Structures are given as structure tokens and as C-alpha cells.
Structure 1
């Protein structure tokens, strides 16, 4: 029976902070072999569509789990979406502006960030994220857009406290302390929930599913698939939730993992 393999992006397929901005030849060769054998390959990421490079969009993946599971695409068909309620988004935005928080709203294809968010733009530039699908002129109260996730840059303790206050029954909130970037998204969705929707759609049993990841937001998917494979550069906490551990992304960890644990 066919297998389905899910790949995280940052720290797994690539690692921009350490100089790997594209899929290496060895990793591509291993993934192409999986495809040639008739298996499915997917991206499972916290990123929205707007943050996916042209290389990954054109690579030939069978689909994407975007924004930590809030959007699921199989063969270019959007099979699931769970947007944040528009009135909730508007309330949160008003508070972002009150606390001078730079923010981006992540939609189905486009993301929305005002041009004055210079520091946040610079942060995304450091990850080689194109501005092609980022719109800086918009009024959310006047246009019909669905928002699946928000990311924020806080410059004061008061702003940080507000962002952390969003954590609750409705939202999860992650904080990257080194960059002071916060993420807010639906607590109902995870990469794991998105993966289960893919497996149901393709009628593939869980035991025939695999996932590669390195981050805290990969833990649930590593636990949920048939074989979760942590990257060598993952933290010990993440590794403890995986069934297998492969090499560092710098050492073609995906290629090594495919050869050892899938083929």
C-alpha cells in the first residue's frame, strides 16, 4: 500500500538560519525516489501559503497542511479550512495597534502586513520569504478575507503581556524568545489534525504515514503518524516524542531518515 510522508520546512527541509535555503540534491533525490515508488509527499508547516517559496510550490508535493492545520490542501483542492472569526480578528487588531505591535494576518493565499511594520518585514526577509503574496494596503473591515493565523513582533513588556493573554480556550500562542515573535492560531487545529484529514481523504491507514520535524509545533504530528522521525537538530524534548531520530538537517537528515526508516 502507498505511504504518505509529511515534511516540516524550517529546520527540516531547509534551515535558512544556518545557510540551507533550498532542498539539497541528496534530499531531493531521496524524495523523488519515494514519489517514483508511488508514495505521497506533503508539506506540514506553520507557514501560510504566502510564506512558501516558489521552489517548494513547484517541487511537486501532493499537498500542504498550512498554518498549523487550519488549511489542508490535497492536489490543489482545499479540503478543509478553519478561519478565525472576523469580529475576533478586528478586536485583536485594534489592540495590536493600541500597544504598537507589528503584526501580519495570514490568509488563504495572501497575507496582510502594513508597510510601516519595518522590523517584521526585516525578520521575514532574513528567512528569504518573498513579498509576492504579502499585501500592505488593506482594510479588513472592508474586504472579505479569511484569517487563519497571526504573527506579531512586540517591542514592550506591555505588548508581550497582551499577546500572551490571548492564550486560552480559543487560541494557542507560541513565543520565540530569541526574536520576540509571537504566533496566535486556533487551539482546535494542529499539524496532526491536518495530517489526519489528509489520511482520511486519501484513505491511507495511519500506520502507513511518516513525518519529519524538529520543532515544538511538530510534536503532535510526530506522535500521531505511524512513524514520527525527529531531526538530529531537534531539541531533546522533541526527540523524546518521536519514534526515530535521524541526522541534522546540515547532514541531509531527511535523506538519511528515508533510507533508514522508510525504504
Structure 2
């Protein structure tokens, strides 16, 4: 296959590669390896931290990824781009959160630490829903002397509005009834993808992305061949070029056939 015929394909994880119960469909695994055998570049684009999907990278043999919704980007195992949080604003936000009894978890590329004992019910309920092996330990000063790429603010729905008003340095994306992602303002998976495709030199016609969540909207809007999963909400489906079946119905396999990457 000539370079001009090779493509790069970015896959979200939760609700795209993985079912709701966090299992990987056999058809998806076979489809990913079929792409690789054809010489295509396969990458991940996720809101997760790098340490939250090591198992998937290993199982699918993927070394290129956009993590933290674009804030930490790795190409073939090497860090290509980072966009850390504004430290001083994060310290102020954490102080305000403490006064409202809203826990905060600090996250870098390697680990996550909570500013309160992590047995707090808001933390356990939301982190447990991810079904991951990692759970934050307690270190209220984890922000000192290191770059953080995301934080988690634990607060009931609606109470994040105060923080949105007070901290314009950040974007706030709710992912659980009790938890909100704190990200650098304007960061997105689309920016992380742009860094990778610039480096690899794929033309826009050979770029593909699959996603299902609200944090995939920029990616699906900007990647030329975008595919929304059948389980995505209407708002996400409306920005994609194609819509495949749901993750529960072998959506990745069907989507790759739909766009002509698999026969």
C-alpha cells in the first residue's frame, strides 16, 4: 500500500472502543488488527489519563494517543505535545472548593492524588463508575512542582456554575452526576489530533475519527472522515459525517466497513 493510501484512525475509548460494561468487543479487536495489517496508523483519542488505559494500549498494541482530551499527546511512545493547567488558578480554585466541601483530584501523566482522604463518597461513587484499577491516594500538595493536565472537581450538578464564572482559565466538562473534569481553556482532542497528523503528514482525506461523547464534538467536527457511534446522543451524531451502529452492536467493525477501510 502506498503512503497516499494509508490512513490514520483515532478511536475514543469509553462508549466507542469499550462497551458500557468496559469490555472490548471481539469484533473491535479483530478490526483494529486488520487495519494495522493493512498498514494504517491506529491511535487513541480519549479524555482518560495515560495510566487509565495502559491495558487497552497493550491489548491493541497502540503506541500513539491523545489523552486528557488533548492535553498530553504521545506519538509512537514519545511525548509530542503537552498543555498543562494554569497552576496559580488551580490553587485558588482548590481553596474555594475546600470552603464548599467539594473535593479535588490532581492528575499528571503518571498518577492522581486527592486533596482530601479519597474515601469521600463523591470520589468513590464517581471513580468506581469508571471500572479502572487506579484510585487516587491522598496528597493535598500534589500540584507543587509538577505539570498537571487535568483535575477532577467533585460537586453536585449545577454547583459547577460558580467555578465556571470564577475561573476563565479552565473548561469544565461534567462526566458524572458528582464529578466535573477541569481542563485548560480551549483544549480539545481536535488540537491533540492536529499535532499528530501534522507530524505524520496524512492529508485530511486520510484522517478518520470515531467517538460518542460530548468531549468528541470538536474532534468529530474537525476530522474530515468522522464517525459517530450509534449510542452517541443526537448532538454528537449531528456533527459527524457518518453514523455507525452502537458499540453494543459491533459499531467499530461496521463503521470501518461503512467508510471503506475494511472490506
TM over 0.5: yes
Which residue of structure 2 aligns with residue 55 of structure 1?
Answer: 56
- Runs of 4+ residues over 6 Å off in structure 1: none
Cα deviation, 1:81-119, whole Å, max 9, x if unaligned, reads 010122222111111111111221121111122424343
Which residue of structure 2 aligns with residue 144 of structure 1?
Answer: 145
Secondary structure of the structure 1 residue equivalent to 2:160: helix
CA contact 2:89–2:167 (8 Å) conserved in 1: no
* Within-5 A mapping of 1:208-247: 208-247=206-245
Normalization by structure 2: what TM-score?
0.89
Which range moved further: 42-51 or 116-125? 116-125
CA contact 2:93–2:163 (8 Å) conserved in 1: no
Separation in 1, partners of 2:113, 2:56: 22
CA contact 1:71–1:80 (8 Å) conserved in 2: yes
Q: How many residues align?
A: 255
CA drift of 1:163 comes to 3.0
Q: Which runs of 5+ in 2 are unaligned?
A: none
Separation in 1, partners of 2:155, 2:131: 21
* Within-5 A mapping of 1:64-83: 64-83=65-84
Cα gap change, 1:188 to 1:160, in 2 (>3 Å): closer
Which residue of structure 1 aligns with residue 249 of structure 2?
Answer: 251
Cα deviation, 1:26-69, whole Å, max 9, x if unaligned, reads 11001100000111111101111232252334421131101111
Normalization by structure 1: what TM-score?
0.89
Q: Which runs of 5+ in 1 are unaligned?
A: none
Cα gap change, 1:185 to 1:212, in 2 (>3 Å): same
Which residue of structure 2 aligns with residue 127 of structure 1?
Answer: 130
Which residue of structure 2 aligns with residue 30 of structure 1?
Answer: 31
Which residue of structure 2 aligns with residue 154 of structure 1?
Answer: 155
CA contact 2:113–2:142 (8 Å) conserved in 1: no
Cα deviation, 1:136-166, whole Å, max 9, x if unaligned, reads 235236x422111112221486x43433325
Secondary structure of the structure 2 residue equivalent to 1:12: coil
CA contact 1:50–1:111 (8 Å) conserved in 2: no
* Within-5 A mapping of 1:168-247: 168=168, 170-176=169-175, 179-247=177-245
Separation in 2, partners of 1:233, 1:167: 33
Separation in 1, partners of 2:173, 2:233: 16
Cα gap change, 1:233 to 1:148, in 2 (>3 Å): same
Separation in 1, partners of 2:174, 2:11: 22
CA contact 1:8–1:44 (8 Å) conserved in 2: yes
